[in-house]
Chain A
Amino acid sequence: MKKSIYLDNNSTTQVAPEVLEAMMPYLSESYANPSSLHSLGRKNRDAIEKARKEVASLINAKPTEIIFTASGSEANNMAIRGTARQFMGKGNHIIISSIEHSSVLHSLDLIKKWQMGETTELNVNMFGSIDPEDLIQSLTKYTFLVSIMHSNNEVGTTQPIKTLSDIAHRKGICFHTDAVASAGKIPLDVKDLGIDLLTISAHKIHGPKGVGALYIKEGVKIEPIIYGGGQEQGLRAGTENLAGIVGFGKAALLAKQELSDGTPAKIAALRNYLELGLKMHIPEVKINGHPIERLCNTLNISIAYVEGEAMLMNLDLEGIAVAAGSACSVGKSEPSHVLKAMGVQDKYINSPIRISLDKHNTKEEIDYTIEVLVKIVERLRSISPLWKPK
């Protein structure tokens, strides 16, 4: 039987059976609109509020500080454009980093197009880390928002968020972090990190696709980007994705348990084993991302003289699913903006593959992956005119 090994958990994850089970009543008998005032509507409202508590608990927030959205992308759009609207006329400068997710990068498109403000992109070093000193230098008296991702979805580098948010707060500037890639892998504590706005997405933590959340610290003012009914404290109109939200709550609850039972360390051990195996068997590879400050499950590896996409397709034929970069950048032929920002040399910039594990992966799967990957690299290199074995 053909193997099926899923190693693309930074793109999306399998819905946990417990999550689906929690969702089922809301996809069948409990279908009333949560805004309806009758008993069935109120019961469904309660289910949403329970999920809100569960999600809040994952990041140590108050339930009233959680606004459900349709995705991490929407939450990022809301964090940036909703804040921009609030500050219009008072400040006009936003600082982000050059390795943000496309939903942060492109949220600025409109602001640039309508000349609503100035933007600064902070550079990163060769490991993908931001130097806090750069943030200090970039702040102006017009800066109203700093948005830096908690960890990078492509290479896994985690940022010194606490230091960065401190710097912003000393000048009274709002701080947003996209924590979509970090949730469930690193404990997130909004109080400790000193965050004003934080984005998470259910489908990256074994919840369903189509639901995300924006944490908005009490007292932080933000305008909606979708107008209509009074749902989500008037900040996000539209009938709630009831089952999706319930699933998100359950996924958050499970993620919190796994963070405390040592699951991330087990995943990291397996990832390190994979990393070592590939480095040992394949010459001229480069691990992208920070050697230590990196998500437990992420291995972004460039294999010189092998196109990332060719690698991906060949692995797929062997039943192994990996990515060549961010799923949200598929279809673009340019090299990864993250690797470019890290100054990765030409030899390695077109050949990244991203292998991202989860708790379900086994040592057998990783052994098989190493074996197959090594063979494919040998084959692809043997037909590459550029490859000259040493």
Chain B
Amino acid sequence: MQEVFLNNNASTKVDPEVLDAMLPYFCEHYGNPSNLHSFGREAKEAIEQAREQVADFLNAKPEEIYFTSGGTESNNLAIKGILRANIDHGNHIITSKIEHDSVLRTIEFLEKMRYIETDSIAVDEFGTVVADQLEQYLTNNTILVSIMHSNNEVGTIQPIKKLTAIAHNKEVYFHTDAVASAGKIPIDVADLDVDLLTLSAHKFHGPKGVGCLYIKESVKIEKIIYGGEQERGMRAGTENLAGIVGLGKAAHIAKNHLNRGGPQKIENLRNHFEAEITSRINDIKINGHPTQRYCSILNVSFAAVNHQQLIESLDQAGIKVSSGSVCETDQYKTSYVLQAMNVEEKYLNNQVRFGLSKYTTQDEINYTIDVLVNLVKHLRSNKKS
């Protein structure tokens, strides 16, 4: 049976070149980067090289890159770290209704403890945040705005540059979770003018268990994990050496991929996929922005279809997908992202998220289209009878 992995928004295959770069750092060059002897120094050099690669990928300075254990930790660090360092200036944080769990749950906890006050910006039917609301919500008490670069469920790309300008006009820090965007859209922190930006390696062909937070030089922030002086005192704990080397290599490869038109090829395939199912299956809805949407994602609602059945049937046919974010405990409950987009009832609880990658082939997509067309027809006819 053909196996088609279309769950690349959940995680991606480690690029073989990334794995090659990582391998020496398990059994040969295994020093603790904090040590002063040669084992330690060569480990430290490898980490600093990775820092340069990631900085280059984001158009940042190497000293603005702080390695973490992943996107979730980076988002926690951005929000709690800014709060701890800036509590004297205020405690109001603005975010959007469609952020990742790691932003929403962090905010929710801080609010529950009455450490902060929050406002949440709405999105339109395409999942684009309503920029005017940011202006309204900003107060003298606001210390941080955190809005994702693109949404992991529907792929809508946010007008970050515009939003940053609004926040900076009031001298408020701006954080963006760019986990879903990395490797798909060029990210230039200088151009976007963001103060903090989150990345995760395993979403762009790096290993799981490593990410980073870009922190602009002048930003006042405090650590959230205490202990040793690793990451220039910003994040304690022995570094995930091989993982960090892998993140650096993945960033380097992703930069070349972006420069060489990689996303366009994936987008062509995605658009073919979208066009085919739109013409061959009725009563479906493509969720997300028609144009401001990243290349590899296709979130489709199938009216009158039980999506759990559909996803399980696709799985049996070798096609791996999900209904949305796999970080959710209950992945078949109503998507808060689609709800925020005011998706009509008919299309609300039957969406499937397809995520392509540079490894996805035309054959795989054609196979998927055929299987999908048949399955939807089958599931709908069963329902009627």
Contact = CB atoms under 8 A, between A and B. Distances in A.
Contacts of B30: 12-15
B35 A321 contact: yes
Given A37-B311, A228-B101, A316-B37, A107 B72 contact: no
B26 A328 contact: no
Contacts of A309: 36
Interface stretch (B57-65, B102-110, B370-378): B102-110
B12 A31 contact: yes
B96 interface: no
A73 B32 contact: no
Contacts of B10: 32-33, 35-36, 41
Contacts of A227: 72, 76, 102, 105-106, 108-109
Residue from A106, A110, A237, A321 whose CB has the most chain B CB atoms within 10 Å: A237
A330 interface: yes
Nearest to A107: B226
Interface size class of B (residues with CB under 8 A): 35 or more
B245 to A, nearest CB: 11
A327 B102 CA distance: 31
A76 B226 CA distance: 9
A139 interface: no
Interface string B285-312: 0000000000000000000000000010
A208 interface: yes
A73 B236 contact: yes
Contacts of A17: 27
B40 interface: yes
A389 interface: no
Given A106-B226, A321-B38, A209 B240 contact: yes
A53 to B, nearest CB: 20
Contact of A243 (B5, B207, B237, B331): B207
A340 B224 CA distance: 28
Nearest to A247: B26
Interface string B8-34: 001111101001001100110011101
B311 A38 contact: yes
B102 A35 contact: no
A238 interface: yes
A12 B225 CA distance: 20
B242 interface: yes
Contacts of B209: 70, 210-211, 239-244
Contacts of B14: 27-28, 31
Contacts of B72: 226-229, 237-239
B322 interface: yes
Interface size class of A (residues with CB under 8 A): 35 or more
A31 B31 contact: no
A322 B108 CA distance: 46
Contact of B243 (A234, A244, A326): A244
Given A70-B237, A209-B240, A228-B106, A35 B26 contact: no
B208 interface: yes
Nearest to B72: A238
Nearest to B210: A210
Nearest to B205: A31
B237 A72 contact: yes
A229 B322 contact: no
B328 A230 contact: yes
Contact of B76 (A40, A101, A226, A234): A226
A163 B5 CA distance: 54
A109 interface: yes
B236 A102 contact: yes
Contact of A32 (B7, B100, B238, B325): B7
A238 B73 contact: yes
B237 A73 contact: yes
A138 interface: no
Given A11-B35, A31-B14, A35-B327, A210 B69 contact: yes
B52 interface: no
B75 interface: yes
Contact of B208 (A14, A41, A102, A242): A242
Contacts of B311: 37-38
A322 B37 contact: yes
B7 A327 contact: no
Contacts of A329: 228-229
A239 B227 contact: no
A272 interface: no
Contacts of B7: 32-33, 36, 38, 40-41
Contacts of B31: 8, 11-12, 321
A234 B328 CA distance: 10
Given A37-B331, A241-B243, A323 B228 contact: no
5 contacts: A15-B27, A76-B227, A77-B236, A103-B228, A330-B229
Pairs A-B, 7 closest by C-beta atoms = A241-B209, A210-B240, A229-B327, A103-B227, A328-B228, A228-B102, A70-B69
Given A210-B238, A225-B76, 4 more contacts: A38-B320, A227-B72, A231-B327, A243-B209
